Structure 1
């Protein structure tokens, strides 16, 4: 749950782990998605093949754009920035790729939590902005966004579910 403009935003997250063997299943996750995070390992090297996951970004992006809606928000994330000394993909390369493809870019560290919360906040804010501009039909669940119940404080100080409304929880 993330709050944007006093509105609770609930993410439903599916981690496909970049498993190419499960491509058809992975593509199904994109259907109806409002956002996608393309995460690559800035240090990834296997058998001296540098930038292994960085080199997959193009095909991952193609899949996301082909199978998600036209208004999907895509953030590109370089993970393991805490291991900059073992870097195989430079920050500038990530920034350039993201700029060329109209993506939001950030480097994070899952180990130290550097920028992890920010990546979700930035993605939620971009999706919320698209909702405000009418780029998503929130009345149509195939948009990848559901308007849900909003938690409100009851007169006794407890929480209760209020009825669904446009200012409710987006997921």
Structure 2
């Protein structure tokens, strides 16, 4: 009897949490294979790091519910396989995404060189106002770095992306990067609602939105500018 009661209590608790959720934001995590996408996601959603994690097959997803600007937001985060043979599946799951974590490995130059192609993929298949965070993962492997931070910052600034260097192993900057992405999604949607509600033309640019670049173990932050468009 007690087991049945406990089961009902858990079920009711889950229903109550679901009822309180204000927004659900879909985010995709993309990039080349073996850059640490699954490990970053596990660190954010479960605060875990698995040394023997296997390559993602197709697309998987996990969730975490967080508070953004006093609103309860459920982040539905899709982990997309990086292998070429799954590219069509990955592209399909970009549709409807409000944000993306684009991950490369700071110890493998080729994974950074492919970032431009991933950006094109996102902008071809996702909403044109998608918020993109460029992630240089494995930042703890300082002695093996081959991608200078400056290269990534320059690319992010040129493309209007956010940028952070993270370590799924230590957890450095992982939460900070995800929260920044979710906050920007939340702010962008609010601005779009406000602008469109005031009858602003759909092509009006919302200029001057600041982009924070999170780099290094000391969480130093610099600012760039980004143009975003209102599209109701």
- TM-score (norm. length: structure 1): 0.73
> Could you say which structure has the greater relative contact order, defined with CA pairs below 8 angstroms and 6 or more residues apart?
1
Preserved contact between residue 81 and residue 90 of structure 2 (Cα < 8 Å): no
1:68 is aligned to 2:126:
yes
Q: Which residue of 1 aligns with 2:14?
A: none
Q: Which residue of 2 aligns with 1:117?
A: 175
2-structure distance, mates of 1:20, 1:13: 21
Q: 1:9 to 1:56 in 2, by over 3 A?
A: same
2-structure distance, mates of 1:84, 1:18: 24
- Work out which of the residue numbers 73, 77, 84 in structure 2 matches 1:20: 84
Q: Structure 1 stretches (4+) deviating beyond 4 angstroms? A: none
2-structure distance, mates of 1:127, 1:7: 13
2-structure distance, mates of 1:120, 1:135: 23
2-structure distance, mates of 1:112, 1:37: 18
User: Residue 71 of structure 1: SS of its match in structure 2?
Assistant: coil
1-structure distance, mates of 2:89, 2:81: 12
Q: 1:135 to 1:59 in 2, by over 3 A?
A: farther
Q: Which residue of 1 aligns with 2:152?
A: 94
Shift in Å at residue 17 of structure 1?
3.5
Shift in Å at residue 135 of structure 1?
5.8
Q: Which residue of 2 aligns with 1:35?
A: 99
CA RMSD of aligned residues (A): 1.5
1-structure distance, mates of 2:177, 2:81: 17
Per-residue deviation, residues 54-90 of structure 1 (Å, max 9, x unmatched): 0110110000011000110000000000001100101
Gaps of 5+ in 2: 1-64, 197-232
Which structure features the higher share of helix residues?
A: 2
What is the 5 A alignment of 1:1-171?
A: 1-44=65-108, 51-134=109-192
Which structure features the higher share of strand residues?
A: 2
Q: Which residue of 1 aligns with 2:203?
A: none
Aligned residues: 131
Q: Which residue of 2 aligns with 1:142?
A: none
- TM-score (norm. length: structure 2): 0.55
Per-residue deviation, residues 43-62 of structure 1 (Å, max 9, x unmatched): 12xxxxxx021011011000
